[in-house]
Amino acid sequence: MRSVSVFGATGSIGQGTVDLLLRQGGPAAYRTVALTGGRNVVLLAQAARALRAELAVIAEEALLPDLRAALAGTATEAAAGARALAEAADRPADWVMSGIIGAAGLVPGLRALAHGGTLALANKESLVSAGPLMLATAARHGTRILPVDSEHSAIFQSLAGEDIGAVEAVTITASGGAFRDWPIDRLARASVAEASTHPNWAMGQRITIDSASMFNKAMEVIETQAFFGIEPERIRVLIHPESMLHALVSFRDGGMIGHLGAPDMRHAIGYALNWPVRRTLPVARLDLAAVGALHFAAPDPVRYPALGLARAVMATGGLAGAAFTAAKEAALDAFIAGRIGFVAMAPVVEEVLSRLSAAGGLGNPAETLDTVLDMDAEARRLAGRVIDAMTQS
């Protein structure tokens, strides 16, 4: 029987994963080693009961008594806190979903890479901040990483059986987010609620706002470089409002292979869960005759400054990705808290990168977890100062 763990089981990716595990036989087909959640005890306990998980971990320590109560009468062990979360990742499982959002997903994902099997990677932040470390750890332990981000799953599927040396370019698509059709001067007044609605995908709030600002796409460009080893100048972004074509690979003979599918993450999750086999998945089938037309446009660099920042991060390399992720998270927190406006997020990140670059060391290799975590902490501290200065002026 295959053993599985799901980190971030209460989130959008995690719930999609739990749903597929249950549809594919649940506890009769999988031994669930560990499920983790941030704060949602009800969803975590529900998933643990349905999958008869051996361990359930809630990140928020104060919620341990609630979790214990919610699991009463089951054989599931309950634990809480960041340490318990990392320890859950030390328990070997054949297949692990890395579905925690943000830099918090780095340590559990990295520790899971140390026991072989497959890491299904939704947490793009870990590749952006510590790509070389993740890949080296996976190689050392013979662990396979399968991408779950829809664009990267699409690239992976388009590359199946192809020679990476014959690739001329890779294009990832972007819906353009909530404000694609807004006049640029209105963006400064965009509210958190407005930024939290996505035209096509149902996702967690943070990634939805990152889609509106294209910080999500910026991370995905860096993720493409880190995971597939493709040079930055060969990675392109294309606006595609329908979110049906997820990525395109262009080959040197002029041919392009792309991947189409309904915007439902359970496709990419299910692909990674069942790889190399394709199983029937409960996602909508595209009816292209009914869709009629698909649209494409080049992204406007003024509307989406995050894309330019991604280019700068790749040019610097090393720890710049860790600084970028951390500064972006601090800026996003400040926007959600109502402290800064939507259009102030990119300038915060840019200012943090420029101060760190002036201080030196930003391009040092992201070789150890400590160097990455130190850079993360430093970038958050600086971002805090930049945001304070902005809110006082």
Q: Is 270 in the site for ligand NAD (CB under 6 A)?
A: no
From Mg ion, ligand NAD, none, interface partner of 270 (C-beta below 5 to 8 A by class): none
Among 124, 217, 240, 246, indicate the residue that binds ligand NAD (CB under 6 A).
Answer: 124
Q: Is 177 in the site for ligand NAD (CB under 6 A)?
A: no
CA distance 215 to 237: 12
Phi (first) and psi of residue 92, to 5 degrees: -60, 140
Residue with smaller CB distance to ligand NAD, 85 or 351: 85
Among 203, 235, 272, 348, indicate the residue that binds ligand NAD (CB under 6 A).
Answer: 203
Q: Is 224 in the site for ligand NAD (CB under 6 A)?
A: no
Q: Is 10 in the site for ligand NAD (CB under 6 A)?
A: yes
Residue with smaller CB distance to Mg ion, 216 or 316: 216
Q: Is 245 in the site for ligand NAD (CB under 6 A)?
A: no
User: 245-251 and 167-174 as β-strands: parallel, antiparallel, unpaired?
Assistant: antiparallel
Residue with smaller CB distance to ligand NAD, 43 or 190: 43
Asked if residue 195 lies in contact with residue 209, where contact means CB atoms within 8 angstroms, the answer is yes
The piece of 115-123, 145-153, 158-166, 254-262 that touches Mg ion (CB under 5 A) is 145-153
Tokens of 253: 């003979």
HSE toward the beta carbon, residue 370, CA cutoff 13 A: 0
Which strands form 245-251's sheet, in the order they lie side by side?
235-239, 167-174, 245-251, 256-260
Q: How big is the site for Mg ion, counted in residues (CB under 5 A)? A: 3
> Is residue 163 classed exposed, middle or buried when 0-12, 13-18 and 19+ CB atoms within 10 A define those classes?
exposed
What distances in angstroms separate CA 76 from CA 30, 124, 149, 301, 375, one per listed residue? 15, 29, 30, 50, 37
Residue with smaller CB distance to Mg ion, 12 or 137: 12
Q: Is 217 in the site for ligand NAD (CB under 6 A)?
A: no
**From the CB of 124, what's the least distance to Mg ion, in Å?**
7
Residue with smaller CB distance to Mg ion, 84 or 203: 203
Spatial neighbors of 308 by CB under 8 A, at least 6 apart, are: 301
Q: Is 242 in the site for Mg ion (CB under 5 A)?
A: no
Per-residue interface string for the shown chain with ligand NAD, residues 58-97, x marking contact by CB under 6 A: -x-------------------------x------------
The piece of 25-33, 69-77, 198-206, 284-292 that touches ligand NAD (CB under 6 A) is 198-206
Among 54, 99, 225, 380, indicate the residue that binds ligand NAD (CB under 6 A).
Answer: 99
* 264: Cα separation from own chain's centroid: 15
- SS3 at position 159: coil
The piece of 144-152, 157-165, 183-191, 315-323 that touches Mg ion (CB under 5 A) is 144-152
Q: Is 259 in the site for ligand NAD (CB under 6 A)?
A: no
Asked if residue 165 lies in contact with residue 229, where contact means CB atoms within 8 angstroms, the answer is no
Q: Is 8 in the site for ligand NAD (CB under 6 A)?
A: yes
**From the CB of 185, what's the least distance to ligand NAD, in Å?**
29
- How many Cβ atoms sit within 10 Å of the Cβ of residue 232? 15
Helix axes 215-228, 320-336, angle to 10 degrees: 160
Spatial neighbors of 17 by CB under 8 A, at least 6 apart, are: 6, 9, 97, 99, 120, 269, 273
Among 54, 66, 125, 149, indicate the residue that binds Mg ion (CB under 5 A).
Answer: 149
b/e burial code for range 290-315 (CB count within 10 A of at least 16 → b): eeeeeeeeebeeebbbbbebbbebbe
Kindly list the residues in this chain that would bind Mg ion in the complex (CB under 5 A): 149-151
Kindly list the residues in this chain that would bind ligand NAD in the complex (CB under 6 A): 8-14, 37-39, 59, 85, 99-102, 104-105, 122-125, 149-150, 201, 203-204, 206-207, 265
